Amino acid sequence: MAVERFPIEAGHIMLFARAIGDPNPIYYDPERAIAPPTFVQASAQFDPDYGLRPQIGRPWFGSGKTPSGLQRPAPSEGSSESRGERRGGGGGTGLHAEQHYEYHRPLRAGDVLTASTTAGKRWEKEGRRAGKLVFSESVTEYRNQDGELVVTARSVGVRTERAVEQ
Amino acid sequence: MTLKASELKEGQTFEAVVVENLTRTQIVQYAGASGDYNPIHTDEVFATQVAGYPSVFAHGMLTMGMTGRMLTDLVGDGRLLRFGGRFTSQVFPGDDLTTTATVEAVHEGDEPSVELKVSTANQNGVEVFSGSAAARIDP
């Protein structure tokens, strides 16, 4: 599981800043844009096998003629499943449980990152609001064009047995 | 804004509203920018009829992104050393979110830094993100 080329583009930073509602001018300056702290999450755009993006010519699990185009559950965000290896299983929903970043150096427009992800622990727990919970951890290292570590991201995804009670 | 180690005290809190009346359109914007098109966030039919939720709900990473805005406004650009946490409850369209950062420790010396407890809660006081951060600060 890897993203071989994640170019940090000023226009992409601008769109991301708009989406999180952040008017900080540094995100809108094409000459000196730096990336917001959670920006590396958008490396999904550059993962050819990302499971939470419709793939051209393939069925998608969101609604169209029917409420879902597939009879299998959504992969969970942050888990290894969201990175292309979908698994079947009995209903429930994939959710993002935790996200942790360590910042080693600033990330700027013009940098080109590579991301390599390794699967971490996997554990189960009985939840009060959503039945059995299956957690899976992954660690992604983002390195720049000089091979320097820029961000380390640890992500935990959870698959719930049923929808979380509100 | 720049924080100074000499002016910070343990227990000091900072607070900011990070979104008021979150819209479905902002969630769609986040899907487009981040590349996470999970229909549970943007497709009301899928979210209600297949996944069994009352409506679409925000990406945890949108909540974390908005929380991060509060932190960079507080500590300045490019100063975060660490930022992380757990998504403790879901965020739905119409929610108002407020982030509170509490100073847990101040490290003076050659490379001054601050450790913060970070909590984002909705309009009902329910915590939706529970985490921490550390940042470089001025002496």
Q: What is the CATH number of the domain that holds B28?
A: 3.10.129.10
Q: CB under 8 Å to A157, separation ≥6 — which residues?
A: A76, A77, A78, A79, A80, A81, A82, A94, A95, A96, A97, A135, A136, A137, A138
Using pLDDT thresholds of 50, 70 and 90, give the confidence band for residue B121.
very high
* Domain region containing B90: 5-136
pLDDT of residue A84: 37
- Count other Cβ atoms within 10 Å, centred on residue A162: 16
For A23-78, the pLDDT digits (tens) are 999 999 999 999 999 999 999 999 998 989 999 999 999 999 999 988 655 555 55
pLDDT of residue A92: 53
- Specify if A166 maps to a domain: no
Written as six digits, the tokens of A37 are: 């702290």
Angle (CA) B56-B62-B63 rounded to 5° is 95
- Specify if A64 maps to a domain: yes
**What's the average model confidence in pLDDT over B110-118?**
96
HSE-CB at A105 with a 13 A cutoff on CA atoms is: 13
Coil, helix or strand at residue B96: coil
pTM: 0.92
**What's the average model confidence in pLDDT over B55-73?**
98
| % of chain A at pLDDT higher than 70 | 86
Number of domains in chain A: 1
Which of A72, A99, A140 is most worth mutating to test chain B (most B CB atoms within 10 A of its CB)?
A99
Does A63 contact B46 at a Cβ distance shorter than 8 Å?
A: yes
* Domain region containing A7: 2-160
SS3 sequence, chain A? CEEEEEECCHHHHHHHHHHCCCCCHHHHCCCCCECCCCHHHHHHHHCCCCCCCCCCCCCCCCCCCCCCCCCCCCCCCCCHHHHCCCCCCCCCCEEEEEEEEEECCCCECCCEEEEEEEEEEEEEEEECCCEEEEEEEEEEEEECCCCCEEEEEEEEEEEECCCCCC
Give yes or no for a contact between A140 and A115, defined as CB atoms under 8 angstroms apart.
yes
Which of A29, A38, A149 is most worth mutating to test chain B (most B CB atoms within 10 A of its CB)?
A38
Using pLDDT thresholds of 50, 70 and 90, give the confidence band for residue A165.
confident
Closest CB to A98: pick one of B30, B35, B85: B85
Does B51 contact A164 at a Cβ distance shorter than 8 Å?
A: no
Q: What is the mean pLDDT of chain A?
A: 87
- Give kind and range of the element (H or E) at residue B101: strand B97-107
Chain B residues near residue A21 by CB distance under 8 angstroms: 18-19, 26, 66, 69
- As for the ipTM of the complex, it is 0.97
- Count other Cβ atoms within 10 Å, centred on residue A109: 20
- Specify if A125 maps to a domain: yes
- Specify if A165 maps to a domain: no
Strand B127-136 and strand B13-19: pairing? Answer: unpaired
- Specify if A133 maps to a domain: yes
- pLDDT at residue B119 is higher than 50: yes
pLDDT of residue A87: 33
Number of domains in chain B: 1
Task: Please report, for the domain that includes residue A68, its CATH number.
Answer: 3.10.129.10
Using pLDDT thresholds of 50, 70 and 90, give the confidence band for residue A88.
very low
In angstroms, how far apart are the furthest CA atoms of chain A? 50
Written as six digits, the tokens of A113 are: 């990152």
